[in-house]
Structure 1
Amino acid sequence: MDHAEMQVEMVPGRLQILMSMLQFLILGQYIQCILMCPTDCTCSSESGTVTCTNKDLKEIPKDIPADTYVLHLEFNKITNIPDGAFKDLHWLRELYLSNNLIETISPGAFQDISDDLKLLDLSNNRLRRVDLQVFGKMRAKTRLYHNPWHCECLLQELIVSLQLDPETVNEIICDTSVQEEYAGKPFIQLLNSGINFCSMQQKTTDVAMLVTMFCWFTMVITYVVYYVRQNQEDARRHLEYLKSLPSKQKTPGDADTVSTVL
């Protein structure tokens, strides 16, 4: 058998070894994905989808695969989204957090998520106020409807800065408001009617400052009047005391002495 024939016979063997190694790597990645999947969740390596829906979760899972593309966390009992809750999820494009009990979102909750996030669903929660810095420069389509919002300047600034889902924007209802007559009304309709909650807040602040200044001024005047009256009363008593003292009488000896001197 010459050298060429030996090479031909070795090719199938090498291919078989390479195929076995490739299968081993694929199997290893598959096992790794299964091991990295959060408890009670299902993970699909093909679509990059992690589903943790309706699992009675009280917090965001900490072992979400880094290559997650879509994350479903709906219908759980999550009350807070802490800082770094989605750390290292740089490929995340859709995040569903609806139908939870979320009341607070920490300022750094979404800071690790890529700017390429396409959809953020926070509907049907218990949000009343959310700070502007929570969302940063996020450009994702955002759903905020069916939350007990307190309609004020902060919410106005939030809505103006976000890319709201146009199909649900009219369902952002004022549960409470800085003005009681606006409670129960769609927030967007109030803004479209020309109501400016930020200027309203400024006026309220100005009035509060004037009231505070008036109270301080009244207190100062009251103290000055009291001080003057108190001093007058003391002066009057002192004068009466001096008047009540007996005057000194001249004796005959004193008169003679004066005459002698003269």
Structure 2
Amino acid sequence: MSRSLTLVLLLLLFPPSSPRAAALWRRGNRVSSINACQQTEEADGGLTVRCSGLRLTQIPAGLSNHTTRLFLNNNRISSLPAFCFSDLFLLDELDLSHNQLSSLEPGCFSGLAPSLRYLDLSSNRLTTLDPAVLGGLQVQANLSQNPWHCNCSMQISVPQLDVEKSSLEKVVCFSSDLPNLGAVGLPLVSLMQDWDLCRSVRRTTDFLTLTTMFLWFIMLIFYLIYYIRHNEVFARRHLEYLRFLESRDPFRPR
């Protein structure tokens, strides 16, 4: 029985609004996407899988554990869930360029550290590097053409990565917490040689804190002055009222 006929029968058995039917339909689409990929067996027995330009929104299911090279470039993948490549323990090259990746969950590259040597994450929407994501990957990584946000967090994360140093030179600042430093357009590693982003941020934060405290102190002084003057006026009026009552007292001896 063909896969499409099977899916039709499943939809007849389960209403389209059924969660189980929806899950089966998504699974059917994921499995069918691997059939559209081009698979080539290499001389060493490895498998090259090309799923380029298929408008995929997630990693296709059913990838062979003999896959050594996987091309998922030019798709619409926006995130990588944990353990999505855990069965590909022979994977040597992974191309995820020209997608819509904006987040990488910790553990998404779990199991690839022993084999993976080249990782292409260029031309995506990544803004930060998390050591929990790339930690342990000793790879040559293409990290160019991403809107990296250079800040204290990035400065702390970069030294913890095991990727080749030449890969980090492609982390070019698209934005920064300190735009006045002229960081935009500079590689993060070059920026870190001249500036301590964390110290600069702390100085900026300390200055703002002191300014805020000073303004609150000034407001408190003005409030105390107003409170004292208001009470003086109130006390004076009360005293004058008492004198007025005393002057009108018919029983007061004259």
TM > 0.5: yes
Q: Residue deviations 1:10-39, cap 9 Å, x none?
A: xxxxxxxxxxxxxxxxxxxxxxxxx89823
Structure 2: tracts of 5 or more residues without a match: 1-30
Q: Percent identity?
A: 35
Q: How is 1:95-244 mapped onto 2 (pairs within 5 angstroms)?
A: 95-110=94-109, 112-116=110-114, 117-167=116-166, 169-180=168-179, 181-192=182-193, 194-244=194-244
Q: CA deviation at 1:122?
A: 0.9
Which amino acid counterpart does residue 228 of structure 2 have in structure 1? Answer: V
Q: 1:212 to 1:75 in 2, by over 3 A?
A: same
Which amino acid counterpart does residue 98 of structure 1 have in structure 2? Answer: S
What's the secondary structure of 2:74's corresponding residue? Answer: coil
Q: CA deviation at 1:222?
A: 3.5
1:37·1:65 contact (CA, 8 Å) conserved in 2?
Answer: no
Structure 1: distance between partners of 2:81 and 2:224: 54
2:85·2:112 contact (CA, 8 Å) conserved in 1?
Answer: no
1:119·1:141 contact (CA, 8 Å) conserved in 2?
Answer: yes
2:135·2:160 contact (CA, 8 Å) conserved in 1?
Answer: no
What's the secondary structure of 2:201's corresponding residue? Answer: helix
**Count of residue pairs the alignment pairs up:** 215
Q: 1:233 to 1:131 in 2, by over 3 A?
A: farther
Q: Residue deviations 1:134-156, cap 9 Å, x none?
A: 22333333221221212212222
Q: How is 1:243-258 mapped onto 2 (pairs within 5 angstroms)?
A: 243-245=243-245, 246-247=248-249, 248-250=251-253
2:137·2:163 contact (CA, 8 Å) conserved in 1?
Answer: no
Structure 1: distance between partners of 2:143 and 2:169: 10
2:129·2:158 contact (CA, 8 Å) conserved in 1?
Answer: no
Q: CA deviation at 1:97?
A: 1.0
1:95·1:119 contact (CA, 8 Å) conserved in 2?
Answer: yes
What's the secondary structure of 2:223's corresponding residue? Answer: helix
Q: 1:220 to 1:250 in 2, by over 3 A?
A: closer
Structure 1: tracts of 5 or more residues without a match: 1-34, 252-262
Q: CA deviation at 1:95?
A: 1.9
Among residues 22, 33, 38, which one is paired with 2:34 in the alignment?
38
1:124·1:146 contact (CA, 8 Å) conserved in 2?
Answer: yes
Q: Which has the larger radius of gyration?
A: 1
RMSD (CA atoms): 2.7
Q: Residue deviations 1:26-82, cap 9 Å, x none?
A: xxxxxxxxx898232133463133221222212222332334333221121222223
Q: CA deviation at 1:101?
A: 2.0
2:142·2:170 contact (CA, 8 Å) conserved in 1?
Answer: no
Structure 2: distance between partners of 1:84 and 1:234: 74
1:142·1:163 contact (CA, 8 Å) conserved in 2?
Answer: no
Structure 2: distance between partners of 1:217 and 1:113: 57
Q: Which moved more, 1:160-169 or 1:200-209?
A: 160-169
Q: 1:171 to 1:90 in 2, by over 3 A?
A: closer
